[in-house]
Amino acid sequence: MISRYRLMRGVLKRKFAREFCWRLTALCLHSEKKKFIARTQATIKNSIFGLDQARVGTDVDLLSHNGATPGLPLPEPMVKEVLAYATQSPVYADRDKKRGFYLSDLKRVEQKLGKEVLLAQYFNILNNEHIRKIAYDPYLLLVAASYLQAPPKLMGANLWWTFPSNPSAEDKSKHAHVFHYDLDDVKFVKFFFYITDVDEDCGPHVYVEGSNRVIKYKNSWLRSLRFTDAEIEEAYGRDKVKYVMGPAGSTLIEDTITIHKGTTPTKQPRLLLQFEFSINTYPEMSCECDESELAFAV
């Protein structure tokens, strides 16, 4: 039997279908959205970001026009808490629940797997009180509600390392290091936080400005498309390809229907924290699992 998630992805492949379904949903949820925003605005003084309402409107406008926009930076104490969590907790190579290891054992894991590890992620990160506090901060909730035009639901919380490596074409595609777009719901938005400093040698995130609005590629009903750098530059122009760099704590807000990709670090690993908000949720997108499913590789 086809899942809700796969059905959604099939129905909403075309932009006109997404727009129609989103506007109809937003109309139906208008009253609930207004109540949610009012309740959240009443807690704005509790935001760790030093938030004001005007900033929310600016972020949403830029997000809608460009597909992504820099957000308020994550305060340094929170950056340190997330980094501490990452260094003390097991992480899982290739997002595989049976390939757990501690960072100090990276080389041992690579020897066992017979390849370099490009990406390793954590599971159940919302169990950490500091990460949970960031996820439900009024800043994130207000931006998400205003952009989605609906009460936002936390679809997923993810934290992962990208390591310097020479990945195979299979690993680059599997871990989204080629241009693509996401189709996670009728409308969704992600918040990315750099937990380590990121320059051109540390695996910056890349997105194509305006590709959320202007579709210059042929779609497919049957599969998620991947695009070469040359195809994207020819379609959109090199000036629209934006590399996101900045110190630890830097924030990017993005609707990843916008064409984007990860890049492979060449010098230092990158640690990135992500929260995704949507109108509907799907278990396929969650990074939460039963602890009994997790196992160490070494």
| pLDDT number for residue 225 | 75
- Indicate the CATH number of 4-293 among 3.60.110.10, 2.60.120.620, 1.10.1740.10, 3.40.640.10: 2.60.120.620
Condensed to tens digits (0 to 9), the pLDDT of residues 255-268 reads 999 999 999 999 99
Condensed to tens digits (0 to 9), the pLDDT of residues 226-249 reads 899 999 999 999 999 999 999 999
Structure-block tokens of residue 19: 């727009």
pTM > 0.85: yes or no: yes
Query: For the chain, what are the domain ranges?
Result: 4-293
Instruction: Burial-class residue 226 by CB neighbours within 10 Å (0-12, 13-18, 19+).
Output: middle
Cβ contacts of 292 within 8 Å, gap of 6 or more = none
Report d(CA 195, CA 247) in Å as an integer: 8
Q: Are 157 and 131 in contact (CB under 8 A)?
A: yes
Report d(CA 184, CA 167) in Å as an integer: 26
**Residue 57, amino acid:** G
Condensed to tens digits (0 to 9), the pLDDT of residues 192-202 reads 999 999 999 99
| pLDDT number for residue 2 | 78
Tell me which residue of 207, 208, 194, 206 sits closest to 268, measured CA to CA: 194
Position with higher pLDDT, 158 vs 174: 158
Cβ contacts of 219 within 8 Å, gap of 6 or more = 13, 14, 225
Q: Are 53 and 41 in contact (CB under 8 A)?
A: yes
Report d(CA 159, CA 124) in Å as an integer: 10
Q: Are 99 and 93 in contact (CB under 8 A)?
A: yes
Confidence check: pLDDT of 222 > 70: no
